[in-house]
Amino acid sequence: MKTSRVIEENGDRCVYCGFKVRFDVENVPQLDGFLATQEHLLPINKGGGNDPDNLETCCKWCNSTRGDMDIEEFRQGLLDNRFSKLLKSRYVFSYKLYGKEFHEDWGGKFYAERFRDGKEIEAFKMNADLAEEQQMESIRIYAAKRYVKAQFSGNSGGHDVEHTMRVYRNAKKLAEKERKGDQTVIKLAALLHDVDDPKLFKTKDNANARAFLATIGITGSLADQICETINAVSFSQNKGKRPETIEAMIVQDADRLDAMGAIGIARTFAYGGEHGRPLTDSVKHFYDKLLLLKDLMNTETGKKIAEKRHKYLLGFLKELEDETGD
């Protein structure tokens, strides 16, 4: 995958230090450490691959400095000033490179004062602390992607891992556009939204989701919030009800968008084929569910996307009617 695509998917900040990465500083003395690279969360020599789930945005400095160290070992090295010989110049040149933008991004006058007082290392440590949440989220998301791949391997009836990943990307897009909601809740709920689907699993109280969340250190109220968001997604189980939180609104919209447009048509007939459903029954599903979704969207961004996909559904049904003579 190209580095530009990795950054488009994961953002323009290094997963380790939190500094912005750049494409325009290659071979520029003192600045090429900020060069945009892609990082393998699990190094290739330890079994990691080049699949998108294992790739993250990373600056050249952190990428080359980490080597094949474990993530936690490298991050602790940042916090312990183990690499302090390079940190001072890194902060100084970041200030020169970004100027006012840098200060607005990383604490305004507080950082300016630290810079004047010569406490660049402390400022960098705080920068690394700010990156901790991003890094931990990346690790958890990577684990969740691997989990759903295992859960849905062999499924080809419309609720496969490709569906989950489309819902995940839809949710990310909606959250970015709406600029609302807890990102961790939204991303994990999107990835886990089908792991306790009664059509696929015989579980109760989100047992699969809760068991997985516990493996990545999420229990208690945060696990409850993620599961409540998941429970708001189902069309059949939430008829006549609107989600109560922005996180649930976004994930519900993300899932419903994947039932519309060209992909919605493909999924409908894939599911029908897997379950021996005749063509006429699959077409009936359009009227029972798919054509209703446009008016049930929650977010403004979701409504705009749904409008386009709804028109595609109508065009398909008209063409089908013309071709079948119904």
User: Are 176 and 259 found together in one domain?
Assistant: yes
Give the residue, 51 or 309, on which the prediction is more confident.
Answer: 309
Q: What is the pLDDT of residue 97?
A: 45
Q: Is residue 58 part of a domain?
A: yes
User: Are 163 and 304 found together in one domain?
Assistant: yes
> What is the average per-residue pLDDT within 149-157?
76
> What is the average per-residue pLDDT within 240-258?
92
Q: What is the pLDDT of residue 316?
A: 93
> What is the average per-residue pLDDT within 100-123?
41
Which of 135, 168, 197 is the last residue in one of the domains? Answer: 135
pLDDT tens, position by position, 47-66: 778 888 788 888 887 888 88
% of the chain surpassing 90 pLDDT: 30
User: Are 129 and 159 found together in one domain?
Assistant: no
User: Are 122 and 185 found together in one domain?
Assistant: no
- Which CATH number fits the domain that encloses residue 168? 1.10.3210.50
**117: confidence class by pLDDT, cuts 50, 70, 90:** very low
Residue 136 above 70 pLDDT?
A: no
CA atoms of 18 and 240, how far apart (whole Å): 43
User: Are 206 and 297 found together in one domain?
Assistant: yes
Residues 38, 50 contacting (CB under 8 angstroms):
no
User: Are 126 and 168 found together in one domain?
Assistant: no
User: Are 320 and 213 found together in one domain?
Assistant: yes
Q: What is the pLDDT of residue 102?
A: 42
User: Are 38 and 130 found together in one domain?
Assistant: yes
**305: confidence class by pLDDT, cuts 50, 70, 90:** very high
Q: How many domains, the chain?
A: 2
Q: Is residue 183 part of a domain?
A: yes
Both structure tokens of 53: 């789930």
Give the residue, 220 or 70, on which the prediction is more confident.
Answer: 220
Q: What is the pLDDT of residue 227?
A: 95
Q: Is residue 143 part of a domain?
A: no
Q: What is the mean pLDDT of the chain?
A: 78
- According to the per-residue pLDDT averaged within each range, which of 111-115, 131-135, 162-166, 214-218 is highest? 162-166
**Which DSSP category does 46 fall into?**
G
Which residue blocks in the chain are alpha helix, DSSP H?
3-10, 60-66, 71-79, 84-98, 100-105, 109-116, 120-151, 161-178, 183-192, 207-215, 220-231, 246-257, 261-274, 279-288, 300-324
Q: What is the pLDDT of residue 59?
A: 82
| Domain range enclosing 112 | 3-135
User: Are 73 and 169 found together in one domain?
Assistant: no
CA atoms of 113 and 118, how far apart (whole Å): 9
User: Are 173 and 131 found together in one domain?
Assistant: no
> CB 321: neighbour CB atoms within 10 A?
11
Residues 221, 234 contacting (CB under 8 angstroms):
no
User: Are 224 and 254 found together in one domain?
Assistant: yes
Give the residue, 321 or 135, on which the prediction is more confident.
Answer: 321
Residue 151 above 70 pLDDT?
A: yes
User: Are 305 and 177 found together in one domain?
Assistant: yes
Give the residue, 319 or 123, on which the prediction is more confident.
Answer: 319
Q: Sign of the CA dihedral 294, 297, 300, 306?
A: negative
> CB 104: neighbour CB atoms within 10 A?
11
Q: What is the pLDDT of residue 142?
A: 79
Residues 251, 189 contacting (CB under 8 angstroms):
yes
Q: What is the pLDDT of residue 256?
A: 93
